[in-house]
Structure 1
Amino acid sequence: MKRTRKLADRLRETILNGTWVANTNYRDQLDNLDWKIATMEFKSLNTISLLAHHVHYYIAGIKNVFEGGNLEIRDKYSFQFAKIQSQNEWEIFLTKFWEDAESLAKLIEQLPDEKLDQSFVDEKYGTYQRNIDGLIEHSYYHLGQIVLLKKMLMPNN
C-alpha cells in the first residue's frame, strides 16, 4: 500500500471512522451530541466545541495548501471562533468538519509518495509527511480531551 494511502486512512480513522488507536474517533464522539453540551464550560477548560473547531481549523488550513492555496493558518488564531448558538449551527459545523476531513484524506491519497519527503510550503515547516503526521497526532491529543470532557459533563453516559 502506498504511504500516502496509509496516511489518508490514519486521518480518516482519527476523524471519521476508526477505533484502532483510541477506540473512538471525532465523529463517534460528536455526532448526536447536543450543542448545549458541546458549548458547556467546565472550570477553565476549553469547550468540546472549541476543541473541535480548533482541530477543524488545521484540517481546513492544510487542505487549502493541498488545493493550491497559501498556508494561511496561524496558531494565534486557532482558538478564535464564534460561539455556537444552536443545534443547527452545531450540525452545520460538524458537516463541514467531516467533509473537509474526507476531502483532505482524498488529497493526501492522490499525492505521489515522493511528495511526502518534500518541504511543506517552506523548509521551516518540515516535510509533507511531518505535517500530516503532526495533524493526526495533534487531533488525537484533542480527541482525548473531548472524551474526558464528555465524561465530566455527562457522567452517566
Structure 2
Amino acid sequence: MMSRKEVILEQFLLTHNKNGWFVSFESAVAGVTPEQALWKKSQLENSIWELVNHLVFWNQYCLNLFKGIPNTKLEGGNDTTFKSSGHSEWLETVDRFNAVMVEWYEIIQACGDEKLDQLYHPESKSSWITTLSSLALHNAYHVGQIVTIRKNQGIWNKENGVS
C-alpha cells in the first residue's frame, strides 16, 4: 500500500512527466511551436502559453510557501497569472515549469510527514497534504485544456494518449 507521500509524489509525476489515466504535461506540450502555443480560438480563452504561465506561477507560489519563502503580493488577481511576467521564450517557459515540478518532487520526497500535516498557510484550514493534492488536480485540469487546444488546432495525435 502506498503512503500519503507516495500518493502525492505519484500525482505530481502523472501531471508532470508520466502518462497514466491522462496525458502528462510533458506529453501535452511535446512538439508545440511558439506560434501554436500563442494560438487562441477566441479572445475569451487562454492560449497554451498562457496556461503554462499560470501553472508556473501557482506551482512556484505554493513551492515558495512550502519552503517558507515570502511571495510578492498578487496584483490584479488570478487573471494576471496567465500573462507572461517577462519576455521568456516558449521553451524557457516550458523549462521553468519542468524545473519547478522537479523541485516539488525532490522537496516532497525529502519532507517528513509532520510537514504534510501542517497548515499550508496560517490563516487556512487546509493541510499541506490536501493543498498538494489540490495543486496536482489543478495541474491535471490545465494540462487537459492544453490537449483540448491542440485538438482544436488539429495538431493532436491521439496516439499520444487521448483520443
Q: Normalised by the shorter chain, which TM-score bucket?
A: 0.7 to 0.9
Judge conservation of contact 1:116–1:128 (CA < 8 Å) in 2.
yes
Judge conservation of contact 2:15–2:136 (CA < 8 Å) in 1.
yes
Does residue 53 in structure 1 map to residue 56 in structure 2? no
Q: Identity, % of aligned pairs?
A: 22
SS at match of 2:124: helix
Backbone CA RMSD of aligned residues: 2.2
Distance 1:98 1:73, change over 3 A: farther
Distance 1:69 1:110, change over 3 A: same
AA in 1 matched with 2:19:
T
Structure 1 stretches of 4+ with a deviation exceeding 3 A read 71-75, 82-85
Q: 2:19 is matched with which residue?
A: 19
Distance 1:98 1:84, change over 3 A: same
**Deviation, structure 1 residue 68:** 2.5
1:111-136 deviation line (CA, Å, top 9, x unaligned): 11122221112242511011101101
**Deviation, structure 1 residue 142:** 0.9
Judge conservation of contact 2:5–2:109 (CA < 8 Å) in 1.
yes
- The separation in 2 between residues aligned to 1:98 and 1:156, in whole angstroms, is 21
**Deviation, structure 1 residue 143:** 1.2
**Deviation, structure 1 residue 147:** 0.8
Judge conservation of contact 2:56–2:97 (CA < 8 Å) in 1.
yes
**Deviation, structure 1 residue 82:** 5.0
- The separation in 1 between residues aligned to 2:127 and 2:155, in whole angstroms, is 42
**Deviation, structure 1 residue 13:** 1.3
Q: 2:83 is matched with which residue?
A: 80
Judge conservation of contact 1:15–1:26 (CA < 8 Å) in 2.
yes
The unaligned stretches of length 5 or more in structure 1 are: none
Distance 1:149 1:125, change over 3 A: farther
1:13-40 deviation line (CA, Å, top 9, x unaligned): 1112x22231x11111113211100101
Give the total of aligned pairs.
152
Q: 2:103 is matched with which residue?
A: 103
- The separation in 1 between residues aligned to 2:73 and 2:30, in whole angstroms, is 26
- The separation in 2 between residues aligned to 1:73 and 1:30, in whole angstroms, is 29
- The separation in 2 between residues aligned to 1:2 and 1:61, in whole angstroms, is 25
AA in 2 matched with 1:130:
T
- The separation in 2 between residues aligned to 1:136 and 1:20, in whole angstroms, is 14
Does residue 115 in structure 1 map to residue 121 in structure 2? no
After TM superposition, the score normalised by the length of structure 2 is: 0.82
Judge conservation of contact 1:125–1:131 (CA < 8 Å) in 2.
no
- The separation in 1 between residues aligned to 2:125 and 2:151, in whole angstroms, is 36
